[in-house]
Amino acid sequence: MKLRGPARPLHGSTELCGDKSISHRALLHAALSPDESRIQNVLRAGVTTAMIDCLQKLGVSITGDGNNLIMRGGVWRQPNGPLDCGNSGTTMRLLLGALAGMPIQVDLTGTPALECRPMGRIARPLRDMGASISADRAPLSIKGGRLRGCEHHLKIASAQVKASLLLAALQADGPTTIYQPEQSRDHSERMLRNLGINVHSTASAVRLHPNGRPLPPTHLTVPGDFSSAAFLIAAAVLVPGSKVHIHGVGVNSTRTGFLDTLRAMGADISIKNCRERGGEPVADITARHSKLRAVEVRGELVVRMIDEFPIFAIMATQAEGTTTVLDASELRVKESDRIATLAGELRHMRVSITERPDGFVITGPQQLSAAMVDSQSDHRLAMSLAIGAMLADGKSRIQHSEAIRESFPGFADVLRLLGAEIY
């Protein structure tokens, strides 16, 4: 992908593809129901293609057109070969939870990058519940069966671990309680409650009582993805003269730490027309160009904006003062080591950034230089570097930008419609 900066003002309105986390959960819940589910506005991107392919190999019927799917699942069958989770950590982790209660043996593989990501955080508690899992990294093999309800004390606030354990808990012989150090995204809890499952949750614990019956069907319209909206919000706030509206975005507070942080930095962002879609809060967001001041981000806020740090780093380069991110060592085990990749690639754009073991420090404002940068096949890095390139003087090139298809295939088209020069 090539971009020319400095970008002209961005103007216009857009809607976004469905939320990645909610799409994954809706697909899995529908796959566990023997009745017909209908899901609208499902994210169709690399990560959900991986999930859909795996579910079909497990015997789940998935039809429909584009973003609207009709599904019928129930009891899964032994697949003919290994299931390829691609580069999707959510696919592998959530599948493991659902497979833990099924009496079949399944091999799970993925890209070399996925093989580097920790799976022990899922495998260990699932073994405690009764599943056999061959390894703590991919490729691995799972043999499920009868599960016992358990108490799990998570050391890290991970919604993927929580969602995976809840999928196993649905199939266990007694209640399961998951204690979390901080509140992570709560989409699973909301969706399961909507399906009539007895799930009680607070910021520090989630308790699920299984009812021994298969899940009822899922009927849901997936809200727009806040994590994709974050790139457009950032572009509008950063590019002088811009004003961008985004309709129908999920604004669940367990996801919107980025909004709270940008507002604390002085960004002009309004949220209107709050409503509910499938048990999730949804709203229309308007973001305008603003002058930013530096902030410190740490603690529970980190969990609520965990996917937004690559784009947040670009914003920090334009804020007056020193921005510090702490308590964010989880960034090192995402699609890339996001602290190291960010620091390395931003330095190619002549940004001065200090890496910390658990975050980074950037003093702004700084002028970004046009450069050849490499996303290291990390979709959120690629989109963040593209927004950074819009602030630079001259032509930049983002290598491995095809990774963007993993979560936001329409990224370049939407930005072009808003006025960006991308080619």
Give the footprint of ligand S3P on this chain (CB under 6 A): 21, 24, 90, 158-160, 163, 185, 306-307, 330
Residue nearest to ligand S3P (CB): 21
Looking at 180-337, list the stretches that DSSP marks H as alpha helix, in order from N- to C-terminal side: 187-194, 226-238, 257-264, 300-304, 309-317
Say which residues have a Cβ less than 8 Å from residue 303's Cβ, sequence separation at least 6: 157, 182, 183, 184, 254, 257
With CA atoms as reference, report the closest residue to 333 among 353, 352, 306, 354: 306
Say which residues have a Cβ less than 8 Å from residue 351's Cβ, sequence separation at least 6: 317, 362, 366, 368
For the CB of residue 227, give the shortest distance to ligand S3P in the complex, in Å.
7
For the CB of residue 404, give the shortest distance to ligand S3P in the complex, in Å.
14
Please, which residue, 320 or 330, has the CB nearer to ligand S3P?
Answer: 330
Please, which residue, 7 or 159, has the CB nearer to ligand S3P?
Answer: 159
Instruction: Provide the strand spans (E) within 115-172.
Output: 132-133, 140-143, 151-153
For the CB of residue 132, give the shortest distance to ligand S3P in the complex, in Å.
23
Please, which residue, 25 or 289, has the CB nearer to ligand S3P?
Answer: 25
181 CB-contact burial (10 Å; exposed 0-12 / middle 13-18 / buried 19+)? middle
For the CB of residue 330, give the shortest distance to ligand S3P in the complex, in Å.
6
Catalytic residue numbers read: 307
Helices and strands: H and E segment counts in the chain: 14, 24
Please, which residue, 158 or 176, has the CB nearer to ligand S3P?
Answer: 158
Please, which residue, 131 or 303, has the CB nearer to ligand S3P?
Answer: 303
Strands 83-84 and 105-109: parallel
With CA atoms as reference, report the closest residue to 169 among 257, 94, 226: 94
For the CB of residue 309, give the shortest distance to ligand S3P in the complex, in Å.
10
